[in-house]
Amino acid sequence: MTRILITGTAGFIGYHLAKRLLAEGHDILGFDGMTPYYDVRLKQRRHADLLQRAGFRAVEGMLEDTAPFDAAADAFVPQVIVHLAAQAGVRYSLEAPRSYLDSNIIGTFTVMEAARRHQVAHLMMASTSSVYGANEKMPFAETDQADHPLTIYAATKKATESMGHAYAHLWKIPTTMFRFFTVYGPWGRPDLALFKFVEAILEGRAIDIYNHGEMFRDFTYIDDLVRAISLLIPAAPALVEGRGEAIAGDSLSPSAPWRVVNIGNSQKVRLLDFVEAIEEALGQKAIRNMMPMQRGDVPATWADAGLLEALTGYRPQTDIREGVGRFVAWYRDYYGR
C-alpha cells in the first residue's frame, strides 16, 4: 500500500484515477477546490462516490491559497503525488486567462513545494497535448520541440513542465509529466465536445462543428488513461547515470530525474467520424452547424505512445465507438434520459 496524494479528485480524471488506485489497495488523500467552472453538483457526486470507498479521505481548498493544501499534505505525508487539479479548457482561456495563471502556475508551485518537503518517491503532474501547438510533424513524440503554444492554457501547462524540471534538478525529485490527448468517458466534463454534443442532440439543438469537420483528434478513453498512470507510478525516472540502458525515444532529461510521457490512443479520428459514432450510440441524427476554425484550435492531434509502452508494456486501445457507447449509457442513466 502506498500513500498517494491526488489533486483534483472531484474532477473527471482525478475521480477515475482515485477509484482505480483505491481498488488496487492504496491509501488516497484527495484535494479539490470545487470551482464553479462547470456544474459543481457533478463534482460533488464524484467525491461522494469516492468517500464511500475504504482508504479515501478528501480535503477541499484552493491550491493557490496554499495553507489548506500544506496542512493536509503535511498531515498525510505522501509517498507519491499525482497533480491533476488545474484550470482546464482551451476556449475558456480566451475569456479568463488570469484564472489559468492562478490555478496552473501558482497551484502547481504549491504542489511542488510539498513534494520537496516530503521528498516523495514520484511526483506526477498533468500536462497536455496542447503544448505541441502548431507542430505539423505527426504523430507527436515527447522529444519533439514544443515551444510554440497557441493558447494561455497550453502556455501555462508548458510552464509547469519547465517548473517541474527545475525542481527535479534542484531537489532530485523523480518527476513525470503526462501529456494527455482528448480524454473522454463516463463522468466526463460538461464543457467537452462529447458531453455537449450528446446533450444537444437529445434536446434537438444544433451542434457546432468547427473547421467544417476537417479536424482530427487522438481520443483517449478514461479507463485506458488511468490504467497508464497507475502503471507509471513505479516507473519513476532516475538520473542518467543510474538508469542503465537508454530507452529508444526516451524524453529523460540529462540533468534531472524528469521525463515527459504521452498518454494517447495513437489513432487520429476525424471529427465527423466522431459525430457519427455519437449518432450511432444515440440512435439519433445531429443537426450540424458547420463553423470555421476557432482561435487557438489546432487541426489535429496524434500521440506517439511508444515511450509509454516501453516503460509499462501498455498502450491505450479502446475503440472510439466502444468508448462513446459507454459514455452515452452513463449519460442516459445519470440524467434519466
User: Which among 15, 37, 153, 331 is annotated as catalytic?
Assistant: 153
Closest CA to 140 of 152, 121, 159, 154: 154
* Catalytic residue list contains 100: no
Question: Strands 183-184 and 175-180: what pairing?
Answer: unpaired
Closest CA to 237 of 125, 132, 158, 156: 125
- Return phi, psi of residue 70, to 5°: -60, -45
Task: Measure the CA angle with vertex 29, ends 26 and 35; round to 5°.
Answer: 135
User: Which residue do the cell numbers 506517439 mark?
Assistant: 304
Residue type, 268: K
- The Cα 220–Cα 242 span in angstroms is 32
Residue type, 223: D
Active site residues: 153
